[in-house]
Amino acid sequence: MRTTPANAAEVDAWLTVLHHYGHIHHVQPHPDGIWAVQRHPGQRPWTLHAPVLAMDWIEDLVRETTERQPDSNR
């Protein structure tokens, strides 16, 4: 459970890492705290309108990504 509200810097960091590792095709930040993200080439971009909503979207993406990868610790 979070004890602090999400902020734009945290969202930027998460999106940068997800893009670097190939989980997001394109990220376009806007100065007013909005992000346009594209999961796959040719797919319509999602618009994330606030840090809290962006973190919810990121959480879903991370959960989906980890569910698809086999657990190498077992």
- Residue bearing the bigger pLDDT, 17 or 73: 17
Q: What is the pTM of this model?
A: 0.83
In a domain, 28, yes or no: yes
Mean pLDDT calculated for residue range 53-73: 84
Number of domains composing the chain: 1
Parent domain of 20: 8-37
All residues at 6 or more sequence positions from 67 whose CB lies less than 8 Å from its CB, including other chains: none
In a domain, 29, yes or no: yes
All residues at 6 or more sequence positions from 64 whose CB lies less than 8 Å from its CB, including other chains: none
In a domain, 16, yes or no: yes
The pLDDT tens digits of the residues spanning 11-20 come to 999 999 999 9
